Amino acid sequence: MTVLRLFRRTPSAELPALSEVLNSLGDAVLVFNSDLQISYVNACWKTLTGYTSKEAINTCFSDYIHPEELQNWIDISRKVSRGDDSQFLWFRLIRKDSEVRWCEIRLQPLRSGDPFPLTATLCDITPQVREDEISKASHRSLSGLVNRIPGMLYRGRNDTRWTMEYVSEGCLDITGYSRDLLLNQTQLSIGGLIHPDDADRVWETVQHALQQHRCFELYYQILHADGHYRRVYEKGQGIYSSTGAVLGVEGIILKISPPSE
């Protein structure tokens, strides 16, 4: 009621009425009483939820929240009514047609120092959330593909230790060491695992290919964590800056299976 009284203030000649301003907004504006029931909604509420203002008044806002996010709503409303600053929450709003929309609500007290009434803005963020989900799914799918490849994809520095910046999970099968060990253990490097008889040839072949900006192909032996050498095939290329400087190398190492008997 207090809020409605606020809106009834006579607008000045130049400025439009406050309710007109609120109803023109692209976000929903809400006011909650001490029972967290809705006491005011602007026109955007209907667009967002499918419920009319009349249907919404005196209903609990929690009725519109997805059950899995209900506790978060209770938590932020408690925080705000205890005097914390403005709080926000991303949640799923259940529309009148039972469809779900992702929304961001920003909640604050109407007057500083008074726990109630609370005011809030409600913004539809479904497109952003969907876009984010698509991007995550695409990344997840690519990462799954890379890590399931029966070989080791890598990107590393062009040094004799072949220090790795990225290795795929296939490294475990090739070397017997996990990604974490190969990337973070300074004493462990791919260079150190190459058979001493092959190490010089590997280095020279790669440097020769890099000078000519060509791919390199290698066959050599690599020391597995089980103590045995395994024969591998590697195909890679340099990563160059626009001026032609070598920034690193990337490629794939595949295990050569012994011929079946």
Per CB under 8 A, the list member of 144, 208, 219, 256 interacting with other proteins is 144
The set of residues, in sequence order, having a beta carbon less than 8 Å from that of 174 and lying 6+ positions away, is 151, 152, 222, 224, 230, 232, 253, 255
Task: Quote the least distance from Cβ 236 to other proteins, whole Å.
Answer: 27
Task: Quote the least distance from Cβ 67 to other proteins, whole Å.
Answer: 5
Separation in Å, CA 237 to CA 144, 156, 158, 163, 212: 23, 11, 11, 15, 10
Does 127 sit near other proteins (CB under 8 A)? no
- In single-letter form, the type of residue at position 130 comes to R
Per CB under 8 A, the list member of 4, 134, 215, 256 interacting with other proteins is 134
Does 140 sit near other proteins (CB under 8 A)? yes
The set of residues, in sequence order, having a beta carbon less than 8 Å from that of 173 and lying 6+ positions away, is 150, 152, 255
Ranges of beta strands (E only) in 137-189 are 152-156, 164-167
Closer to other proteins by Cβ: residue 147 or 212:
147
Whether 93 contacts 48, CB under 8 Å? yes
Does 133 sit near other proteins (CB under 8 A)? yes
- Tell me which stretch binds other proteins (CB under 8 A): 41-49, 94-102, 190-198, 253-261: 94-102
Does 150 sit near other proteins (CB under 8 A)? no
Per CB under 8 A, the list member of 6, 57, 100, 247 interacting with other proteins is 100
Task: Quote the least distance from Cβ 90 to other proteins, whole Å.
Answer: 14
Whether 217 contacts 181, CB under 8 Å? no
Whether 101 contacts 126, CB under 8 Å? yes
Partnered with residue 250 across adjacent β-strands are: 155, 237
Does 83 sit near other proteins (CB under 8 A)? no
Does 225 sit near other proteins (CB under 8 A)? no
Which residues bind to other proteins, rule: CB under 8 A? 66-68, 92, 94, 98, 100, 130, 133-134, 136-138, 140-142, 144
